[in-house]
Amino acid sequence: MDIQTIKNRFGIIGNSDHLNFAIKVAMQVAPTDMTVLITGESGVGKESFSKIIHQLSARKHGQFIAVNCGAIPEGTIDSELFGHEKGSFTGAYDARKGYFEVTDSGTIFLDEIGEMPLPTQSRLLRVLENGEFIRVGSSKVMKTDVRVVAATNVNLIQAVEKGKFREDLYYRLNTVPIFVPPLRDRGEDIELLFRKFTSDFAEKHHVNSIKLTEGAKQALMAYRYPGNIRQLKNLAEQISLLEMEREVDKDILLKYLPQEGNMMPALYKSQGSSSGDKDNFSERDILYKILFDMRNDVEDLKKLVHNVLKNENYGEEILKDNEDLFEVKQNEFKENAEGVRTPYLLDSRKDEGDDANDSFDLEDYQDAEHEVEEESLSLEKKEKEMIERALSKNQNKRKYAARDLGISERTLYRKIKQYDL
């Protein structure tokens, strides 16, 4: 069976080298019973590869079950995977078989394996090594013959370093790795997929299919697609539904593509909780943090430039000619009409009542600088409290805490080290 036959059978569209290599690896490993770890960003189609592996194996007549580990609550995932005995916990009115028991002689696909709790990881490791498991609330060891195919969109090596994923389980799962490339690395596959999605929409709703101009095709393939194939499908269906003209040019297409330059964080607003809850974050909290970071950057820049000019032979003259650039207000904050206090990030003019010929006073600047440092400590305390609240609210899961704070997970990790949390 060749690669094109596999693509046709499983509905895979594309001809990029990275995609073809991933399919080839899946075809080679399928006849074996080796454990496979599929990696790739969210939305690239990792589950399709698990189906290829199952259907081309000797287990194709057995059960195939796909389990999203990130969607099952931590308190019930052991019961879902390994089953439970009657009365083993509140609500366990009857004994229940788990997925590993149901899929005996078949294949189980564990998606988002990186979200699996550590205690469950230990149970899974025993299944992979010995084919044994124990139901929740039982002491009887049971056997199963199940092939495990796992998938993740997170870096498991980093998760191991952070203590969130067992190292022995990682190496046990990663017997044969398959990397599914992101859409942005697949070149002309983007246009092929777009045509497929628009054609499917046109056939389903009995309308003419969308056609792209050359400029629109170039713009379509230049976009990065953080949501990968899911995002491209949504884009194709939106255009097919909303555009009356069936020929779409570059300008029309760009209206539907998110502006990548807009990096402002989404403001978080708590749902369904009282205003007095300490774990809630308001838009004002997030705005306060943004201004805090901006003010720190500006103050650092002002100090750096001041020190450079102060230590140069010609610096004193430049300082005198540009006093207003290095002036630090005694009152670091002003209050607007809504009562929100916001920082003076940089004052470009002196007050009208000031004497325009006043010289730069280094002692006054140092006094003001001391006030800035004290205020910075207060702001740092506020930021630290916000981070602690976010981590507590999300059970120390940095991914969700970072989302609540409106910052990247990498920035949150840096802040945690900075404040020794």
The CATH number of 184-256 is which of 1.10.8.60, 3.30.230.70, 3.30.2130.10, 1.10.630.10? Answer: 1.10.8.60
How much is the pLDDT for 284? 59
How much is the pLDDT for 38? 97
pLDDT bucket at 338, cuts 50 / 70 / 90: very low
How much is the pLDDT for 278? 45
DSSP-derived letter for residue 170 is H
pTM of the model: 0.62
The single-letter code of the amino acid at 336 is: N
Average of per-residue pLDDT values in the chain: 82
Residue 108 pLDDT > 70, yes or no?
Answer: yes
At 122, is the secondary structure helix, strand, or coil? Answer: helix
**What tokens appear for 415 in the block?**
């802040």
Give yes or no on whether 3-181 and 184-256 have one common fold. no
3-state percent breakdown (helix, strand, coil) of the chain, nearest 5: 50, 10, 40
In this structure, are residues 220 and 232 in contact, taking their beta carbons and an 8 Å threshold? no
How much is the pLDDT for 125? 96
Residue 369 pLDDT > 80, yes or no?
Answer: no
C-alpha distances (whole Å) from 58 to each of 29, 31, 67, 229, 372 are 12, 6, 21, 30, 70
pLDDT bucket at 398, cuts 50 / 70 / 90: confident
333/313 Cα distance (integer angstroms) = 34
pLDDT bucket at 299, cuts 50 / 70 / 90: confident
Produce one character per residue of 243-278: b if its CB has 16 or more CB atoms within 10 Å, e if not: eeeeebeeebbeeeeeeeeeeeeeebeeeeeeeeee
Residue 325 pLDDT > 90, yes or no?
Answer: no
363/222 Cα distance (integer angstroms) = 55
Which region among 66-75, 121-130, 330-339 has the lowest average model confidence (pLDDT)? 330-339
The single-letter code of the amino acid at 91 is: G
Q: For the chain, which residues make up each domain, given as ranges?
A: 3-181, 184-256, 283-418
Average pLDDT for 363-374: 52
206/171 Cα distance (integer angstroms) = 50
C-alpha distances (whole Å) from 17 to each of 33, 46, 219, 231, 250 are 26, 17, 22, 22, 28
The CATH number of 3-181 is which of 3.50.50.60, 3.40.50.300, 3.40.50.1860, 3.90.105.10? Answer: 3.40.50.300
Sequence-separated (6 or more) residues with CB below 8 Å from residue 184: 223, 224, 225
Residue 275 pLDDT > 50, yes or no?
Answer: no
